[in-house]
Amino acid sequence: MKEFEAVLFDFDGVIVDSEIVHFECWQEILEPFEITLTWDYYTRNCIGVSDRAMIRTLISLREPPVDFDRVYALYPAKKERFRARMMESPRADESTIELLRQLSGYKKAVVTSSGRAEVEPILRQLGIADLFDAAVYGEDVAALKPSPEPYLKAAEKLGITRALVVEDSAAGRESGRAAGFEVIEIEQPSGVAERVRARLGI
């Protein structure tokens, strides 16, 4: 019996190198509010958390804080800006795409806090959407990462109990472990294939 029945992948920062694009889009959205967002602050506080929670953190960077609703009203524009840039130039490591094609003996799922409208078109643009057996998007769960719900939902969809989770954020790693799964920590999307192959022995 295989140690793992499935490999569950986060999207941003794992399947695609998109965090820098998210960061740049947020910088542009926040500029009219005179909120300065640095890459260091973004990587430490904004990756893997819900966008509502992120906005609440960001508006507190200015004194006095900006009204939440004013910033949140621009969230759809941020999502569309991100989608357009990623569709124009998808950023995925070829080694990761090759890994996904070769993991035929394992069920595979995308588990992300981002919305379907942001993620699914990019997966299709990259030609890898059909390589996954299931997907869990932000709107599919009541509680986002670090809650275990997203990974438990993926396991339910796949009908499995033993999974290897591939994550880049603290919230994502906490989510996977709380769901009872082993988690591989990824620092750069370019390292996904090597880390997963090493753990699976393939």
The pLDDT tens digits of the residues spanning 52-84 come to 889 999 998 888 989 999 999 999 999 899 989
What pLDDT is attached to residue 65?
87
Beta-carbon neighbour count of residue 157 at 10 Å?
A: 17
Taking 50 as the pLDDT cut, the residues of the chain under it are none
d(CA 93, CA 95): 5
The type of residue at 135 is A
Half-sphere exposure of 1 (CA within 13 A, CB side): 5
What pLDDT is attached to residue 47?
86
What pLDDT is attached to residue 49?
81
Put simply, whether the predicted model's pTM sits higher than 0.85 gets the answer yes
What pLDDT is attached to residue 50?
82
Contact yes or no for 71/59 (Cβ under 8 A): yes
What pLDDT is attached to residue 90?
81
Strand partners, 6: 107, 163
Residue 106: DSSP 8-state: S
**C-alpha distances in angstroms, 46 versus 84, 128, 161, 171?**
21, 27, 30, 10
What pLDDT is attached to residue 63?
87
**C-alpha distances in angstroms, 47 versus 44, 55, 63?**
7, 12, 23
CA dihedral 32, 33, 38, 40 (to 10 degrees): -140
